[in-house]
Structure 1
Amino acid sequence: MKTTNQPLQRSDYRIRLLIGTLGILLPVALIIAKGSVLASISHYYYHNVASLIFIIILSAFGLFLLSYKGYRIDPKTEIISDDFITNIGGLAALLVVIIPTSCDGSGSAVIDGLCGNGLEPLLGHLNNTKNIIHLVAAGVFILTMGWMSSFKFTRGDDDGYHSLYRWSGYLVFISVGLLLICKLLVALDVNIFIQDYYVFIFETTAIIPFGISWLIKGKMVEKVQVISKKMFN
């Protein structure tokens, strides 16, 4: 395929590595900062320390994705370019920060207490319309990352990781699908055993796989092999 012969800027490889690292780091760093699991990743916006991590990482996601160019579009085989998809994902990531999730239902008595007293920090709110915008933006961000993994990283000759890229994307789509199913069940008053944390769980099972695929596509394995040879030779 034509795209495999196109040069890729070194900065794009670095951006892939950074996006992959942030994807794996985000849920882990938030849990460590808060010391507990909240109802969703977005609810960490309302915790004093974790909010800084949330804002910094999501903002970095947005800026890195907007900076990423990828390969030029092959008009014979593609309709949407790498640049277009990552621009959409980057804008969505920034919107997630600018319009946070609704303050209530976090799973934390402290945060819910602040919300109940009208003490939402920063741009916090209890507005349903803003909450819907936030949820849509978060969904678009995650789905564009899954799309990149499954359909953009698997172009051209197999570099040995196409199956990993494809399944990373599939796990993103499956996670989003399961999250929507759980939301529907909860709305229908069906009790599910992960009811308090299903959003966080499926956000994590979506974010970490795409993080892994971006790391591999950023030639992390090759870099580790080079470092290992230098250390042990």
Structure 2
Amino acid sequence: MEKKAILNSYLRIRKLIGTLGIALPVLVYLFHKDLLASISHYYYTESAVFFIAILSAFGFFLISYRGYDKDPSREMLSDNIITNISGFAVLIVVLIPTSCSESGSEFITKTICDTRNYPMFGHDKSLWNIIHLVSAAIFLFTMGWMSIYRFTRTTNKEEMKFENAIYKCCGYAVWICIAILLIQFVGEKFGADLHATKYDVFILETISVGAFGFSWLIKGKALEDIVAFNKMMFGARKK
């Protein structure tokens, strides 16, 4: 019974992380009703409550998550170490937000950036911005790692073939988005504009958090819950 209770607790945490990941870009956009250059820039809007609350929840859930122990014969890190790294990284993202400038919003630029009327830990310092970007990259990278290497760790390879394919697709989607963002960032440093639109960062971040969110939902057996719910509802109607 104790093992079942622990498993159910893990499943709930996985579903919460997955739901929050998918909800984050949707909520910050809908509440502010304007598209910004990145999800991080919503820290300077009324959507900050969702940005701070969801990312903080990510951090605490990930730090409290234990997951699989490592296999000493072929693995260097356990789930616990990876999620701790990810959890602390995302908390740094909250405590050291992105710089106020380049939000893509004229209103934010004039009322906050130019006047330096920053909310809470807001700033326009390049060093702090780099720390924010690196921490965000670590958070997303480890989420991709979890999907590709940790979620696919199972003895029932054939039975879990479909789920494992989903985990890998989600993980690689996260990593591809990080790679594109890194290329664009380096390109900017060398004076090359590699952006397709001014909302590239927001779009790629949305794909990333949506991908790892979906991966965590699958790992939390959300699909099984939906199937069971439908059976219960349709079964009750037939009776």
* TM-score normalised according to structure 2 size: 0.91
Contact 1:182/1:198 (CA < 8 Å) preserved in 2? no
Q: Deviations over 1:67-92 (max 9, x none)?
A: 11101222122110000000000001
Q: Deviations over 1:93-146 (max 9, x none)?
A: 111001111011101111111111111111101111111111111011111100
User: Counterparts of 1:45-60 in structure 2 under 5 Å?
Assistant: 45-47=43-45, 49-60=46-57
Of 195, 210, 213, which residue of structure 1 is paired with 2:212? 210
Partner of 2:79: 82
Q: Which segments of 5 or more consecutive residues in structure 2 lack a partner in the other structure?
A: none
CA RMSD for the aligned pairs? 1.4
Partner of 2:10: 12
Secondary structure (helix, strand or coil) at the match of 1:75 reads coil
User: Per-residue deviation at 1:193?
Assistant: 5.2
User: Per-residue deviation at 1:189?
Assistant: 3.1
Q: Output the CA distance in 1 between the equivalents of 2:72 and 2:218.
A: 26
Contact 1:186/1:195 (CA < 8 Å) preserved in 2? no
User: Per-residue deviation at 1:183?
Assistant: 1.7
User: Per-residue deviation at 1:191?
Assistant: 3.5
Of 38, 42, 49, which residue of structure 1 is paired with 2:36? 38
User: Per-residue deviation at 1:182?
Assistant: 1.5
Partner of 1:93: 90
Q: Which segments of 5 or more consecutive residues in structure 1 lack a partner in the other structure?
A: 1-5
Give, as a single letter, the amino acid of the residue that structure 1 aligns with 2:221: K
Q: Output the CA distance in 2 between the equivalents of 1:76 and 1:181.
A: 35
User: Counterparts of 1:21-170 in structure 2 under 5 Å?
Assistant: 21-47=19-45, 49-113=46-110, 114-156=112-154, 157-158=156-157, 159=160, 160-170=162-172
Q: Output the CA distance in 2 between the equivalents of 1:137 and 1:192.
A: 23
How many matched pairs?
227
Contact 2:62/2:87 (CA < 8 Å) preserved in 1? yes
Give, as a single letter, the amino acid of the residue that structure 1 aligns with 2:87: G
The more displaced of 86-95 and 197-206 is 197-206
